[in-house]
Amino acid sequence: MLMFAPLRSVVVSLCTVALALVAAPAAYAQVYSNNAAITIPTVGTAAPYPSTITVSGAPVAPAGLKVRLQNFSHSFPSDLAILLVAPSGQGFQLLNGNGGNTAVSGLFITISSNASTPIPAALTSGIFAPAGGNSSFSPPANAIPRAASLAALATGNLNGQWRLFVIDDAEGDSGTIAGGWELEFESAPVPTTPAAPFAFTYQGRLDGGVTNGTIDARFSVFSSATGNSTANSVTIPVTLTGLTVTDRLFSATVDFGRPLPTDVKTWLQVEIASPAGSAFVPLTPRQPITVAPLAGGASSLSSTTLLPAGNTVISGPQGILQTGSLTLRAPGASSSDGSGSLGGLLRLVAGNANTASNPPTVGASANNDVHIVAGDNVYLGANSAGWNGNIQFFAGDNQPERMRIVGDNGFVGIGTTSPGQALDVRGSIALGTTGELRAASGEENLRMLRGTLNANGTIFVGSGFTASRTGTGTYVVNFNTAFSSVPTITFTPQAASLYVFVTSTTASSVTLNVRNTFNAATDAPLNFIAIGPR
């Protein structure tokens, strides 16, 4: 059995065998808490006023409603009036100047719609019926309509903000609700047979507290072994009340209403109130919850795992994709991958990847990348850092990355690890049924410019070049990016009676002269096309 460390002399042990207990079904409850202290002044409204709890996922028709005041102290309890207000806008008074004139300290008081015991004249811890009444409260509570009973508040839509208004109506005494308050919706008794697929049976033993009698138990699931923040809470706490204890042994059927997650590590927290109605005591440490993997081949994926032959579906143990890398390796491939990647990395590998004498490592910040690797001794070269949700493709023995889809912008790079366009290809693109055409529609890897010049040498149409008029009828065109060798250039005057003579052509510029039918230099607009190798 797994033992919890003792806390306030109450210990629970998980048993690996069923316990033969005869116990009445326990009540099932959903609990919502605000553990911030409520400070009660010598007279007037408490701080905060009101204290609020926001409820979501409440049951549709609970069998009961409870309000628990935690660690309550006051030097004159009869000074107090407490009003609970539901999201519907209706309220009901829990305390109304009752509780006596004797100072109390550290009480845990539960006001229940199903309780029949009135609040005692000398206030103690326990479960009591609400007082009711119509005490005068400070705004905004003074205008709140009153329901017929506490149970009436537990009807309709229970999701939303619940408010607790606390006032002290007489001078001279003060107090506090140091542990805040809880709101509990109780449903019908849980059957002794677990309700598949979400329920499970918790069996334990008390090493302190009640030996034979009844206790309450509260169960919660967290994504942290110690954290209590909202971000760590996986389920809404559920409370089982009136559990029967026989010779220190008890059994409880727990149902959180949904399956527990399998993609993160989780811990079960158990709190015990022994005897029933007393303060809940959390048991430490929390119990880690182990879930079954989806395939036997995934019994351990903390490092690279050899998969069996054939079609295999696997799921890594919870948390593995959050803190390490998961490699799916084809049968027969080497299992000596030692990349040691740091974060959320999924790698699909076919081949003896990273088995060179000095195997490369994944970048220093591998954040949620996907690697598809086919080949031996693939490597990342100089581009091994700053990864951010990319999909990267490797292929071939001793070859670098072949293609990348960038996570930040969706750009696809072929031949480059930093594409600057939606599709960035470094290299030629072959088209046609036999690849006979390049992307520039020619069998050569060509580049083309076109333009129109005004008679004064300025550019009328086109880009990628500059132009100037250096004399009558003489023009110079300079290419912003030079061709790799001398291009082919065609000039066409816009007047039919004119002729163009190219006097000089280089990879970066061309000089030409325009003449008329009398061979005289003439200024005139003209068109040109330049085609040449990249």
User: Over 70: is that where the pLDDT of 263 sits?
Assistant: no
Mean pLDDT of the chain: 78
Domain count, the chain: 4
| Residue 172 falls inside a structural domain | yes
> pLDDT tier at 156 (50, 70, 90 boundaries)?
confident
> pLDDT tier at 322 (50, 70, 90 boundaries)?
very low
Comparing CA positions, the residue from 79, 103, 92 lying closest to residue 171 is 79
Calpha distance 413→48 (Å, rounded): 58
**Quick one: 10 and 137 in the same domain?**
no
Calpha distance 342→182 (Å, rounded): 41
| Residue 439 falls inside a structural domain | no
State how beta strands 27-34 and 238-245 pair. Answer: antiparallel
> pLDDT tier at 398 (50, 70, 90 boundaries)?
confident
Mean predicted confidence (pLDDT) in 126-139: 90
Confidence (pLDDT) at 440: 64
**Quick one: 236 and 330 in the same domain?**
no
Q: CA 313 → CA 297, 300, 307, 310, 316, distances in Å?
A: 9, 14, 10, 10, 10
H/E segment holding residue 458: none
Confidence (pLDDT) at 323: 43
Distance of CA 182 to the CA centre of its chain: 27
Planar angle of CA 289, 292, 296, nearest 5 degrees: 145
Please list the alpha-helical segments (H only) found in 239-362: 320-323
User: Over 70: is that where the pLDDT of 365 sits?
Assistant: no
Mean predicted confidence (pLDDT) in 173-200: 71
Instruction: Show which of 254, 272, 289 is a domain's final residue.
Output: 289
Calpha distance 41→175 (Å, rounded): 7
Confidence (pLDDT) at 57: 78
φ/ψ bin of 439: left (φ > 0), alpha (ψ from -120 to 50), beta (otherwise): alpha
**Quick one: 67 and 130 in the same domain?**
yes
> pLDDT tier at 245 (50, 70, 90 boundaries)?
very high
Burial label for 367, CB within 10 Å (0-12, 13-18, 19+), is middle
User: Over 90: is that where the pLDDT of 480 sits?
Assistant: yes
Sorted by sequence, the CB contacts under 8 Å of residue 529 that are 6+ apart come out as 448, 449, 450, 489, 490
**Domain limits at 72?**
27-186
**Quick one: 324 and 239 in the same domain?**
no
Mean predicted confidence (pLDDT) in 49-67: 87
**Quick one: 6 and 150 in the same domain?**
no
**Quick one: 261 and 323 in the same domain?**
no
| Residue 435 falls inside a structural domain | no
Please list the alpha-helical segments (H only) found in 46-170: none
Confidence (pLDDT) at 275: 87
Calpha distance 329→359 (Å, rounded): 17
Least confident range of 337-341, 399-403, 464-468, 522-526: 337-341
Indicate which CATH number applies to the domain containing 489.
2.60.40.2080
| Residue 338 falls inside a structural domain | yes
> pLDDT tier at 262 (50, 70, 90 boundaries)?
low
The b/e string for 352-362 (b: 16+ C-beta within 10 A; e otherwise) is bbbbeeebbeb
**Quick one: 408 and 526 in the same domain?**
no
Indicate which CATH number applies to the domain containing 95.
2.60.120.260
- Do residues 451 and 525 lie in contact, with contact meaning Cβ atoms separated by under 8 Å? no
Distance of CA 24 to the CA centre of its chain: 40
Least confident range of 14-23, 313-322, 475-484: 14-23
**Quick one: 271 and 205 in the same domain?**
yes
Mean predicted confidence (pLDDT) in 353-368: 45
Confidence (pLDDT) at 166: 95
What's at 526, amino acid-wise?
Answer: L
Sorted by sequence, the CB contacts under 8 Å of residue 83 that are 6+ apart come out as 91, 92, 93, 94, 135, 137, 141, 144, 164, 165
Burial label for 343, CB within 10 Å (0-12, 13-18, 19+), is middle
User: Over 80: is that where the pLDDT of 410 sits?
Assistant: yes
Distance of CA 62 to the CA centre of its chain: 31
**Quick one: 265 and 391 in the same domain?**
no
Planar angle of CA 87, 93, 95, nearest 5 degrees: 135
User: Over 50: is that where the pLDDT of 229 sits?
Assistant: yes
Q: Name the residue with higher pLDDT: 297 or 472.
A: 472
Mean predicted confidence (pLDDT) in 336-345: 48
What's at 401, amino acid-wise?
Answer: E
> pLDDT tier at 197 (50, 70, 90 boundaries)?
low
- Do residues 353 and 373 lie in contact, with contact meaning Cβ atoms separated by under 8 Å? yes
User: Over 50: is that where the pLDDT of 439 sits?
Assistant: yes
Nearest 5°: phi and psi at 178? -65, -30
User: Over 60: is that where the pLDDT of 74 sits?
Assistant: yes
**Quick one: 408 and 517 in the same domain?**
no
| Residue 349 falls inside a structural domain | yes
Least confident range of 238-242, 327-331, 470-474, 507-511: 327-331
User: Over 80: is that where the pLDDT of 353 sits?
Assistant: no
Q: Name the residue with higher pLDDT: 286 or 348.
A: 286
The tokens 């199903």 sit on which residue? Answer: 114
